[in-house]
Amino acid sequence: MSTAPEWIMVGGEGPESYNQHSSYQRALLEAAKEKMKEAISSKLSLDLIYDRFSVADFGCASGPNTFVAVQNIIDAVEAKYHRETGQNLSDNIEFQVLFNDFTSNDFNTLFQALPRGRKYYSAGVPGSFFERVLPKQSFHIGVINYAFHFTSKIPKEITDRNSPSWNRDMHCTGFNQAVKKAYLDQYSADTKNLLDARAEELVPGGLMLILGSCLRDGIKMSETSKGIMMDFIGDSLNDLAQQGVIEQDKVDSFSTPLFLAEECELRQIIEENGKFTIEAFEDIIHLDGEFVVDPKNSALSSKASFGAFLTAHFGADAMSQVFELVEAKIREGVSRIMNAKPDMQYLIVLRKNC
């Protein structure tokens, strides 16, 4: 396997930062708020709410969405406690929030933006969520928003031009079954590690709320708007290689540590792991629908998410040129994006088996 540079978001609060271009990811948290509340109300045991209650966000980035995610959870725990005991939770319980991301994440921006008047203590937890990052039984509810589609490595055979499994594209389109299998094998192994680690760290009966995108069964990545956007990035890299700005060899061996599984694959990976019970696997209607096709904004949003990774491979100048080309390609390809097949936005509720 080749180890990929860490896939971090563009930090800071500037005009090209993830902080300013993450409303798409936030819309899912807003759309899922009631379902998160229902899940906590019905699946979390009241016995777990005493003294200190810990919430952990895995893949928190530099804000502000993580604050929405953890507040949704705290509000739901408070509502449950009040309804079932008639008492105000803040009189009896202290909340702690654990913010996890790679060490290279912009934690400074995150902590400077912590909401005023928040009713929780905060701590940063640096490290890859594919490994243990917290002590045993140290949190009660975990959340992952749009960070459940990463792999820890890029399968080596897909980056080798001479391999039958060579991935001609920059991501897994699904057309080449050998590439798809290599990605799925890596994703399954990584997700198993992630679930094993969280099962150790969660208290018995604790919950994981996982939100993100997956493919509907039988749909290929390249048929969705996200796949088309990734093709625009791949095509732009090829354009720059043809202009001699970057090396074609580097483009040919470039792939991303991203994999959108099909719904049935996600279920199978979680069930085979066996550490959690799937309490819900809900289709969430995203308030923003699919990508809102404003070419400038779409290009900026992609840049905020992909920019740091592309810079690590091709340098900052080439990365900027890529997204100028991407904006033009979106402008030309609006109808392709509008007619793409839908992917699925989900909320998965997992309860740790005792």
Ligand X SMILES: C[S@@+](CC[C@H](N)C(=O)[O-])C[C@H]1O[C@@H](n2cnc3c(N)ncnc32)[C@H](O)[C@@H]1O
Binding site for ligand X (CB under 6 A): 7-9, 22, 25, 59-61, 65-66, 100-102, 105, 128-130, 145-147, 150, 305
Shortest approach of ligand X to residue 244 CB, angstroms?
Answer: 32
Shortest approach of ligand X to residue 65 CB, angstroms?
Answer: 3
DSSP 282-330: EE---TT-S----HHHHHHHHHHHHHHHHHHHH-HHHHHHHHHHHHHHH
User: How far apart are the C-alpha atoms of 352 and 37, rounded to whole Å?
Assistant: 18
Query: Of 102 and 281, which CB lies nearer to ligand X in the complex structure?
Result: 102
Shortest approach of ligand X to residue 295 CB, angstroms?
Answer: 21
Query: Of 145 and 165, which CB lies nearer to ligand X in the complex structure?
Result: 145
Query: Of 61 and 228, which CB lies nearer to ligand X in the complex structure?
Result: 61
Query: Of 66 and 186, which CB lies nearer to ligand X in the complex structure?
Result: 66
Q: Give how far Cα 71 sits from Cα of 63, 76, 115, 119, 336, Å.
A: 13, 8, 10, 9, 37
* Bridge partners for 121 per DSSP: 96
Shortest approach of ligand X to residue 135 CB, angstroms?
Answer: 17
The two most distant CA atoms of the chain are separated, in Å, by 69
Shortest approach of ligand X to residue 149 CB, angstroms?
Answer: 9
* Residue 197 contacts residue 131 (beta carbons within 8 Å): yes
For residue 107, what are its two tokens? 């934690």
Query: Of 246 and 310, which CB lies nearer to ligand X in the complex structure?
Result: 310
DSSP letter, residue 24 = H
Residue nearest to ligand X (CB): 59
Sign of CA dihedral 142, 146, 148, 152: negative
Shortest approach of ligand X to residue 127 CB, angstroms?
Answer: 7
Query: Of 39 and 147, which CB lies nearer to ligand X in the complex structure?
Result: 147
